[in-house]
Amino acid sequence: MSHYFTTPDGDERRREVGATIWGREHTFTTANGVFSGTRLDPGTAVLFRETAPPEPGLRLADVGCGFGPIAVALAVHSPGSQVAAVDVNDRALQLTAVNAHAAGVGDRVHILRPEQVDPQARYDEIWSNPPIRIGKEALHALLLEWLPRLSADGRMVMVVGKFLGADSLQRWLTDQGWACRRLGSAKGFRVLEVTRIAHDT
């Protein structure tokens, strides 16, 4: 699966996939060479089912956006919010841009490679179906890079497969000084919410 974490070579074969997100039907353009390029990933589907959309007018980020279902849904269902859609796969970013414009939120979904993200930027909420298969060390480094970018009362919402170490990741986050609780669990996936511990705000 490592090819999802680099921009693929070869021809791009696009297709459309449908998904019901927070009670609304969405259609996305996706393609080969991106994460879950044939359907809405089951983990992402659980993430949506176990949460409600953010309040309007927030600063949001989708880390590891793939073809953009989370980023686009955040922008559509959280009016006025600005969404940073971040990925290392340029094809995924191109598809996210296509899907954001098709959904009428292209002006509020900002397409970024990790190195293009302002290190001083702060976010009210960070959402992610993180790339667990990059390995524990790389995943931990990714989270330690993004969690400090939360605003004082911000939160990170992520979905992780139980069989891919969701429970051990929750313990690790707590050991790192973050509050981490489970928002929901379904079909072998955990939805976790990470926040700053109160005395650290």
Residues linked to residue 61 through DSSP beta bridges, in sequence order = 84, 126
Give residue 124's pLDDT band: very low, low, confident or very high (50, 70, 90): very high
Q: Which residues pair with 159 in a beta bridge?
A: 191
What's the whole-model pTM score?
0.92
- Residues 37-90: pLDDT tens digits? 778 999 999 999 999 999 999 999 999 999 999 999 999 999 999 999 999 999
How many CA atoms, within 13 angstroms, populate the side-chain half-sphere of residue 10? 9
Q: How far apart are CA 198 and CA 201, in angstroms?
A: 6
pLDDT tens for residues 137-161? 989 999 999 999 999 999 999 999 9
Query: Mind listing the domains of the chain with CATH numbers?
Result: 2-200 (3.40.50.150)
